[in-house]
Amino acid sequence: MSFWRSKQGGGVLLIVLTTLSFALLDTSTKFATKLAPTLMLLWFRYAFQAAATLALRFPLQGKRLFTTANPRFQALRGVLLLITSACSFFGLQHLPVGEFTAMVMLSPLAATALAAWMLKEQVSRRRWGLMLAGLAGVLLVVRPGGQVFSWALLFPLLLVSAYAWFQVLTSRLSGEENPYTTHFYTGLVGALVLAPVVPFFWDTQALLSYWYWFVLIGFLGTFGHLMLLWAFMRAPASVLTPYLYSQIAFATLCGWLVFDHVPDHLAWAGIAVIAAAGVGNAVLLAREMARHRQSLALRAAAAAALPS
């Protein structure tokens, strides 16, 4: 019980709550896009985040909420997350929630490959092997003749690419920005980018009839990202990342309860491979970071022992 009372234990609980929120968001999105224009729902999701963050944080931070040392970073980060959300909102109209989520969870593995390429990070052979295993798992899910094989697979493919770049960019510039400022600008950028387009798809009747779906989607998106932010403020990524894959279980359960969809046997196998590869990658990364810290500590101790 002592672990769950610690900061790391609290971070794990928050990250599981995050994955539950995102699974509910995807399920709600899949249902709501049948009732209201997709771009309206997408715009409202980001406008809600910007407004809620402003209401919650401005009384505490004041003008510091708007202070950023990297405005271009904030803009690019917001656009990348908007692309991932757009792919999710449109892709879920054609693909089951569980399988879609499993494919999306390839993003951390793709981010690892991008970090090795762009940031020149060292990636072990075992982690490269796990990335290939994750790709093999996706091929099992999207195989020709399977339940989800269609043109709509372009959506999760684009999403994985955009979100991997988003993760690399966030990692590269983490620590330079106030997390609540980043959270605010993420919502603001998404809302502003969509603002010129939304009027062409505006449906007042849909908003009046199904306003609760708009509010629910806005709340789940904002709440999920806040929980994610708070989780990483309590515990390191090496501890939290394996628990991100609980989203696959939540999404599959929601798909079964709401849409009566159950993956076939090969899709189940692919989902299991993707989850195992992702968790394995996170565990190996944690071990490599621990060895690196230990090596640095030994070098520092050796240097301190040298005669001056």
- Average pLDDT per 10 consecutive residues for the chain, totaling 308 residues: 66 88 94 95 96 94 90 90 93 87 77 65 72 74 65 84 79 73 93 96 95 96 89 76 81 88 80 78 69 57 46
Angle subtended by helix axes 7-32 and 246-259, to nearest 10: 30
Q: Which of 228, 260, 276 is nearest to 98 (CA)?
A: 260
Three-state SS string over the chain comes to CHHHHCHHHHHHHHHHHHHHHHHHHHHHHHHHCCCCCHHHHHHHHHHHHHHHHHHHHHHHHHHHHHCCCCHHHHHHHHHHHHHHHHHHHHHCCCCCHHHHHHHHCCHHHHHHHHHHHHCCCCCCHHHHHHHHHHHHHHHHHCCCCCCCCCHHHHHHHHHHHHHHHHHHHHHHHCCCCCHHHHHHHHHHHHHHHHCCCHHHHCCHHHHHHCHHHHHHHHHHHHHHHHHHHHHHHHCCHHHHHHHHHHHHHHHHHHHHHHHCCCCCHHHHHHHHHHHHHHHHHHHHHHHHHHHHHHHHHHHHHHHHHCCC
Q: Which residues contact 149 (CB under 8 A, 6 or more apart)?
A: 142, 143
**Domains identified in the chain, total number:** 1
With the C-alpha atoms ordered 252, 155, 71, 59, is the resulting torsion angle positive or negative? negative
The burial class, CB within 10 Å (0-12 / 13-18 / 19+), for 308 is: exposed
Range of the domain at 297: 2-305
Centre a 10 Å sphere on the Cβ of residue 4 and count the other Cβ atoms it contains. Answer: 10
Letter string b/e over residues 149-181, b meaning 16 or more CB atoms within 10 A of that residue's CB: eeebbebbbbbbbbbbbbbbbbeeeeeebeebb
Question: Tell me, what's the pLDDT at 119?
Answer: 57
Q: Which of 232, 227, 240, 235 is nearest to 285 (CA)?
A: 240
Distance between CA 13 and CA 243 in Å, rounded? Answer: 9
Backbone phi and psi for residue 9, each to the nearest 5 degrees, phi listed first: -65, -40
Distance between CA 243 and CA 273 in Å, rounded? Answer: 15
Question: Tell me, what's the pLDDT at 301?
Answer: 47
Tokens representing 254 are: 């929601």
